[in-house]
């Protein structure tokens, strides 16, 4: 299978509202998420010389994406132990800027010395992309169906995916992406969807975040389950990386 990819995910966090106590970082992230906002989280430590530069970078990203908040996470503060463990930040290079989706899942991230504002914006997930991130975060497979809303064949394929979910003891989710939805434009680009191809197009993203297979047209639930369970080699294709996902067509 050519260019088998990891759909997901760099564990990342992003950044600081300077009026907020660092000890309240977890609560502030949750509060922002409840409002439907993504979070740029800057992970750093006291005395790090690059902290202000990293914060400025995150704040510039916030200007381009107003539905967001910027918070700082002090890795040396014991009150942040839960978040450090959750996002596996014990030994990551700092300052690190993470993009946290509105559902609390990490969508991407990069060390501040290697990050650009445009790169951070590209990491911001679309609504359907957030659903895929959540499925993987929960250890589930995601059947991602790209289709035209008006296509009569769409329901048949979605039914097949739902059947596959049941056959996997509901350890899978079906995510339907309307290719005409402008909010999903970046997500569609990440999968390198052939807009002139045969729809629906179904990607099987396994519980490890790997794009295991891609099918065009209607495919039986049995084939979907087999694709979800097979072992695949991994490649890196995180959201915001600028790379595309191109598994072998079925």
User: Tens of pLDDT along 128-155?
Assistant: 999 999 999 999 999 999 998 888 889 9
CATH number belonging to domain 127-229 = 3.40.30.10
Pairing of strands 96-100, 5-6: unpaired
Cα–Cα distance measured from residue 134 to residue 145, given in angstroms and rounded to the nearest whole number: 16
pLDDT tens over the chain, length 250 residues: 443 333 333 323 333 333 334 448 999 999 999 999 999 999 999 999 999 999 999 999 999 999 999 999 999 888 889 999 999 999 999 999 999 999 999 999 999 998 999 999 999 999 999 999 999 999 999 999 999 888 888 999 999 999 999 999 999 999 999 999 999 999 999 999 988 888 999 999 999 899 999 999 999 999 999 999 988 775 534 343 334 444 444 4
Per-residue pLDDT at 234: 57
Please, which residues have CB within 8 angstroms of residue 131's CB and are 6 or more apart in sequence? 142, 173, 175
Orientation angle between helical segments 221-229 and 154-167, nearest 10 degrees: 50
Query: Looking at the DSSP assignment, which residues form a beta bridge with residue 109?
Result: 98
Which pTM was predicted? Answer: 0.79
Structural fold of domain 10-123:
Glutaredoxin (3.40.30)
Q: Largest alpha-carbon pair distance within the chain?
A: 60
Query: Where are the domain boundaries for CATH 3.40.30.10 in the chain?
Result: 10-123, 127-229
- Looking from the CA of 34 toward its CB, the CA atoms found within 13 Å total 6
Pairing of strands 141-147, 172-178: parallel
Query: Looking at the DSSP assignment, which residues form a beta bridge with residue 179?
Result: none
Residues 29-58 have pLDDT tens digits of 999 999 999 999 999 999 999 999 999 999
**Structure-token pair, residue 31:** 């509060």
Candidates 155, 147, 142, 132; CA nearest to 179 is 147
Q: How far is CA 88 from CA 13, 39, 85, 155, 226, in A?
A: 10, 17, 5, 40, 31
Per-residue pLDDT at 55: 96
Q: How far is CA 138 from CA 116, 185, 242, in A?
A: 30, 25, 25
Beta strands in the chain (DSSP E): 5-6, 38-44, 68-74, 96-100, 106-111, 141-147, 172-178, 201-205, 210-216
């Amino acid at each position: 299978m050519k260019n088998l990819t990891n759909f997901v995910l760099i564990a990342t966090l992003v950044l600081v509202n300077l009026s907020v106590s660092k000890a309240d970082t977890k609560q502030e992230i949750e509060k922002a998420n409840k409002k439907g906002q993504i979070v740029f989280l800057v992970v750093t430590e006291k005395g790090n010389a690059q902290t202000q530069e990293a914060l400025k970078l995150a704040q510039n990203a916030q200007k381009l994406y107003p539905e967001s908040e910027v918070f700082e996470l002090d890795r040396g503060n014991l009150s942040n132990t839960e978040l450090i463990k959750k996002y596996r930040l014990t030994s990551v290079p700092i300052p690190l800027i993470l993009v946290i989706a509105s559902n609390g899942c990490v969508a991407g991230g990069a060390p501040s010395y290697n990050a650009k504002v445009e790169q951070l914006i590209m990491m911001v997930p679309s609504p359907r992309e957030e659903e895929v991130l959540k499925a993987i975060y929960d250890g589930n497979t995601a059947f991602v169906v790209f289709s035209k809303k008006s296509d009569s064949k769409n329901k048949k394929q979605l039914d097949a995916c739902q059947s596959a979910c049941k056959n996997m003891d509901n350890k899978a989710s079906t995510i339907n992406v309307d290719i005409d939805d402008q909010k999903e434009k970046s997500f569609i680009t990440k999968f390198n969807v052939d807009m002139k191809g045969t729809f629906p197009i179904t990607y099987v993203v396994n519980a490890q975040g790997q794009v295991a297979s891609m099918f065009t047209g209607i495919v039986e639930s049995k084939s979907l389950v087999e694709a979800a369970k097979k072992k695949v080699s991994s490649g890196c294709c995180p959201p915001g990386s600028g790379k595309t996902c191109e598994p072998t067509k079925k």
